A and B are shown apart, each in its own frame.
Chain A
Amino acid sequence: MNSVIKGASYVLAHTPQMVVYNGTTQTTERIVNPESEYLKELESHLRSYEDCVNYWPNQVYIGNATPDELAEVEFPYYDKVKDGAERYGKYGEIMPEEEFILLVQACDQFEVVMLDKEFVSAHKDALAADPIITEDIVARVHEGVELANIETAVNDEHAEGLYIAGKLVGCVKRAHDIDVNLSAHVMHENLMSKASSVLALLYGVRNAGIAKDDVEYVIDCAEEACGDMNQRGGGNFAKAAAEIAALNHATGSDSRGFCAGPSHALIEAAALVKSGAYKCVAVTAGGCTAKLGMNGKDHVKKGLPILEDCLAGFCVIIAENDGENPEINLDILGRHTVGTGSAPQNVIGSLVADPLERAGMKITDIDKFSPEMQNPDITKPAGAGDVPLANYKMIGAMAVKKGEIDRAGLASFAKTYGLTGWAPTQGHIPSGVPYIGFAREDILAGKIKNAMIVGKGSLFLGRMTNLFDGVSFVIQANTKAEAEAAAGVSEEEVKGLIAKAMKDFAASLIAE
């Protein structure tokens, strides 16, 4: 029996200072062109926490508005305010940078994070007031140290500074004197990923309505790697985050596949549960500091705020079939193989058309497609266009080529079968998965009967292969009742056959 999607969470941490100090567009610019106009102007384009909360796409991400409602908002979104915007949403929250830094320190097991005493005392109560943050997490927050100690670590020991409004409030120290894999930069990146994953896990468990002890396995599908010089990507973010989230009955592992990682991980999780290996698996990912402000140069040049100012995380809880929640149908899996090729039509064919054809379905039998759901407010000013729309056009063009719709239908394909993008451009975060929370609800409400999640990844960025990658799967309404009814008939039949065989055998004995 197929496994089900028990619940999903989506979280953001507003981290404008990490845009400045840790986003690679900015750190590269500081090396290549330290006196650039961009660096001078950057800080005046950073958004306040309130602006970040009021931003329509962020409210959709945490579940306070739907993609359909976003589609009705006049583009662009950055100069609009979502009425009734809130920090907390049904899927998660938008955490302010101060509290997130405290959560990061709570996630640090090796005392590499040092925070200023005054900063800790000023914000600890705020973190404790967050309903999702448990007492044991708050108890992990240390008292803090004198600012002078932090200044020494940053100035003399290569520590990465943590800032609020340009003021040093803490740092992440290196975890080894010479191992670059444990440098302050890498520790910073990994701890931010871990902390945002912890937040996603906490909401994931809450939203699924399960107990923490129900989770037996965690798969982390972010794009970072943790390890040391002898095992650079040894892992294991999954178990590390599960520990802080108090998933005491879980173990886990990391699964990687660039932006396709989440889709790979969800298929793996669905298969693990369907096979009976584990009853409940959490797929989780934290955010990526490197991508903060990735398109910042274009945003500043065009007078926009820096829109890539949030670390994002998500979690999907996959569990045994409960007869109610939507299922992941493992009979309809798309996969871009080594031999598929990289031309867009081969890619769309392998991920969308081919798996449906194998299942005897047409492209138009799917109610909604969720490919890369990047927020076009971010990508369009950077010259990358509307990514979801481009995907829908390609899927529609494939349907035209297969004769499923006529060419005139191409114009309305995106509106009928697509969604307006709302996800932050954090690589793996926008890749298919942002719709899973809404898809689950829309299927439960009978608004749609199914949805296809498509994850794609640019493997060539790792310089190990020139190949592209992707996998896809279909979420559908629960079929347990039908499956049991079908199974029930066949069981009766089997019993009947056995009874008849026994009777025949007995008769043959009597005859002898």
Chain B
Amino acid sequence: MDLENQKRVKEFAEEYGAENLVVVLGAAEGEAAGLAAETVTLGDPTFAGPLTGVQLGLAVYHVCEPEIKEEFDEAVYDEQVSMMEMVLDVDDIVSEMEAIREQV
């Protein structure tokens, strides 16, 4: 995850409290989604950014996961996400995301 984004996530967690944040990802690949999810829960696995060694344990989902999809207005989801949902390997993304959440 981009170093500046890590910094912003860290600042938001300090400002609002980790329990009040949900991180929604839009990564196109399971692996990339998993890395970002790991960064905001267990810490930056690349040891490069401000979240190195920082276990924020934030709630984190991909926008194509059912938990997030059901929160959307259907028309908005169709307009904003449905095309990507058609092309992404959603099952792979869901399993990567679940694997990270299980470790938290």
Contact = CB atoms under 8 A, between A and B. Distances in A.
Are these two chains actual partners, yes or no?
yes
Contacts of A393: 86-87
A33 B47 contact: yes
A297 interface: yes
Given A345-B80, A345-B82, A397 B87 contact: yes
B104 interface: no
B103 interface: no
B83 A401 contact: yes
B83 A397 contact: yes
Contacts of B35: 383
Contacts of A396: 87
B29 interface: yes
Contacts of A33: 47-48
Contact of A345 (B46, B48, B79): B79
Interface residues of B, number: 18
Nearest to B36: A383
A137 interface: no
B48 A343 contact: no
B86 A385 contact: no
Given A383-B35, A397-B86, A28 B48 contact: yes
A29 interface: yes
Main secondary structure of the interface of B (DSSP, over half): helix
Contacts of B82: 345, 401
B30 to A, nearest CB: 9
Nearest to B86: A397
B47 A32 contact: yes
A343 B79 contact: yes
A394 interface: yes
A390 B32 CA distance: 14
Contacts of B4: 463
Contacts of A348: 83
A36 B79 contact: no
A398 B83 contact: yes
A496 interface: no
Interface residues of A, number: 26
Contacts of B46: 297
A390 B80 contact: no
Contacts of A29: 48
B100 interface: no
A375 B19 CA distance: 40
Contact of B80 (A28, A297, A343): A343
Interface string B35-62: 1000000000011100010000000000
Contacts of B29: 383-385
B48 A384 contact: no
B86 A400 contact: yes
B102 to A, nearest CB: 20
A410 B79 CA distance: 19
Contact of A410 (B28, B32, B52, B86): B86
A488 interface: no
Nearest to A394: B87
Nearest to A29: B48
A32 B84 contact: no
A101 B47 CA distance: 33
A234 interface: no
B53 to A, nearest CB: 12
A401 B32 CA distance: 26
A343 B84 CA distance: 9
A410 B80 CA distance: 19
A149 to B, nearest CB: 36
A344 interface: yes
A9 to B, nearest CB: 32
B23 interface: no
Nearest to B76: A343
Nearest to A400: B86
Nearest to A381: B31
Nearest to B84: A344
B68 interface: no
Nearest to A387: B28
A383 B86 contact: no
A447 to B, nearest CB: 27
Contacts of B31: 383
B83 A36 contact: no
B103 to A, nearest CB: 18
B81 interface: yes
A57 B35 CA distance: 28
B47 A345 contact: no
A463 B35 CA distance: 23
A42 to B, nearest CB: 15
A429 to B, nearest CB: 21
Contacts of B48: 28-29, 32-33
A394 B84 contact: yes
Interface in A398-450: 398, 400-401, 407, 410
Interface string B57-91: 00000000000000000000001111110110000
Contacts of B79: 343, 345
29 contacts: A28-B48, A29-B48, A32-B47, A32-B52, A36-B47, A297-B46, A341-B80, A343-B79, A343-B80, A343-B81, A343-B84, A344-B83, A344-B84, A345-B79, A345-B81, A345-B83, A346-B80, A348-B83, A384-B29, A385-B28, A385-B29, A393-B86, A394-B83, A396-B87, A397-B83, A397-B84, A397-B86, A410-B86, A463-B4
Given A28-B48, A29-B48, 10 more contacts: A32-B52, A33-B48, A343-B80, A343-B84, A345-B80, A383-B31, A385-B32, A397-B84, A398-B83, A407-B86
What 9 A-B pairs are tightest by C-beta distance, nearest first?
A393-B87, A383-B31, A345-B83, A343-B80, A385-B29, A397-B86, A383-B32, A397-B83, A344-B84
